[in-house]
Structure 1
């Protein structure tokens, strides 16, 4: 880094529009949450409510077309009972409300995206390919219709993938390559016959996620007591990540790298002891 991390600037990130399909009462809650600080909007009792709030607060990222997603670690930061979080995520996943993705960050990271947002992301891929005049995009329709709708896990085997796609027509190896090149599937390194489902266009965001984690931890570690008031820290802007401070704080608190301490003056964010 050319400049010191202590020169982090105030955040100017913009928030994404709210989910317009929410119930009126929920829309009001989501709208109100956007004007609250992280400290005022830090804990939740319901996983779906937390997901909707965090979706609404997802930072707008310039030049990157990616729908809002929430990290599982972020939910852990805001709901004390992790067993409850896992149980409710599983229920929502089976009900096809959301999908989970194993992220290629070198850590055990999982992203959660509402199914409607994920389908919008797939549509963006199709539109981009159509604009490039690419032909024979039929496999993407098969993927949406037969694979996404019936396979809800984070991974799928080659044989099962071909079997589901064949419900639409004759499957060729080049069709699988199309899905991989489009960013919809990632071949697993430990087993080339297995694929992770993935979120297209997320590569640069994941790079920023990793860099932002390091930058924030380094920034706090350089402070005398390795801590800062949450209200002050939230106003800082990271230089190496397109994601905002609120996104990173929730992530690092939920993963145990940072912890919060309640004081008469408010919440303090502190680097967790080794």
Structure 2
């Protein structure tokens, strides 16, 4: 007898929004057993969906739920809609966006409350950290901060800024400017990079450099275990490393040229 998992209510409530947006997602996955019509089609619902794909417990709760911006494009394929709604969510202080890594031009998203809870869990009882959360995190929508904002607007001293850098809340962007950062993000980056490389290598080695999605999902790849197969597939599809094609045998993932 077939058993189906209960679809979270949040996804059911978004069907009307999907019709309004006119962008019906066709993403499906064995990981969550969610049918096409149950998938989120507005940006916030897509973020909530991607957030469910891995459990922070597998990282001993040392990172928050991190969502790659381009992953959202794999669920809601109208990039203009996604970018506009992400901007609205940032203005409403519901999400924070961060530059992912020092050498790659990618951005990730964390829900603001998740970010605050993560920081307080990692750096409890620190008045400089509390001040940072109440000022810069609460009031700034950008991914970076300059010295004028930190000193003149948020009233941080040079010593306090140094403390924030040492705590992993800021990383140096240039002289007098910093990227806002996620403490412990290096743990995520290690698993994310390994999983991406493993998935792409698997497809590259396949005949004609293409593989059925179902076949890939059935592979036991250790490197993708922590973040999950669906999480990594949304990464390589959204980043356009592969093209997803509908065939009579199911969805096919083909390495992009």
TM-score w.r.t. structure 1 length? 0.77
Whole-angstrom CA distance in 2 between matches of 1:194 and 1:41: 45
1:8 maps to what in 2?
none
Q: Does 1:246 align with 2:243?
A: no
Equivalences for 1:203-218 in 2 at 5 Å? 203-218=186-201
Whole-angstrom CA distance in 2 between matches of 1:53 and 1:230: 19
Whole-angstrom CA distance in 2 between matches of 1:25 and 1:208: 30
**Is the 1:38–1:246 contact (alpha carbons within 8 Å) kept by the matching residues of 2?**
no
The alignment partner of 2:130 has SS state of helix
2:169 maps to what in 1?
184
1:58 maps to what in 2?
54
1:200 maps to what in 2?
183
**Is the 2:144–2:177 contact (alpha carbons within 8 Å) kept by the matching residues of 1?**
yes
Whole-angstrom CA distance in 1 between matches of 2:166 and 2:197: 29
Whole-angstrom CA distance in 1 between matches of 2:111 and 2:162: 26
Deviation at 1:38, TM superposition (A): 7.2
**Is the 1:125–1:182 contact (alpha carbons within 8 Å) kept by the matching residues of 2?**
no
The alignment partner of 1:149 has SS state of helix
Equivalences for 1:52-131 in 2 at 5 Å? 52-60=48-56, 61-63=58-60, 65-104=62-101, 106-127=103-124
**Is the 2:71–2:235 contact (alpha carbons within 8 Å) kept by the matching residues of 1?**
yes
**Is the 1:58–1:69 contact (alpha carbons within 8 Å) kept by the matching residues of 2?**
no
**Is the 1:34–1:56 contact (alpha carbons within 8 Å) kept by the matching residues of 2?**
no
Q: 1:146-200: per-residue Cα shift (whole Å, max 9, x none)?
A: 111111110010121122332xxxx432211111111111111xx2211101111
**Is the 1:154–1:197 contact (alpha carbons within 8 Å) kept by the matching residues of 2?**
yes
Question: When the two structures are aligned, how many residues end up with a matched partner?
Answer: 235
Instruction: Specify which of 132, 148, 157 is matched with residue 159 of structure 1.
Output: 148
Q: Which structure carries more helix by proportion? A: 2
**Is the 1:67–1:121 contact (alpha carbons within 8 Å) kept by the matching residues of 2?**
yes
The alignment partner of 1:252 has SS state of helix
Q: 1:84-119: per-residue Cα shift (whole Å, max 9, x none)?
A: 100000001101111110111522211111111011
**Is the 1:157–1:193 contact (alpha carbons within 8 Å) kept by the matching residues of 2?**
yes
Higher relative contact order (CA 8 A, sep 6+): 1
**Is the 2:245–2:253 contact (alpha carbons within 8 Å) kept by the matching residues of 1?**
yes
The alignment partner of 1:36 has SS state of coil
Whole-angstrom CA distance in 1 between matches of 2:207 and 2:30: 32
1:105/1:175 CA distance change after superposition, 3 Å: closer
Instruction: Specify which of 36, 42, 46 is matched with residue 46 of structure 1.
Output: 42
1:43/1:263 CA distance change after superposition, 3 Å: farther
Q: CA RMSD in A?
A: 2.6
Where in structure 2 are there 5+ consecutive unaligned residues?
1-6, 15-28
Where in structure 1 are there 5+ consecutive unaligned residues?
1-17, 19-23, 131-136
1:27/1:222 CA distance change after superposition, 3 Å: closer
Instruction: Specify which of 202, 215, 218 is matched with residue 219 of structure 1.
Output: 202
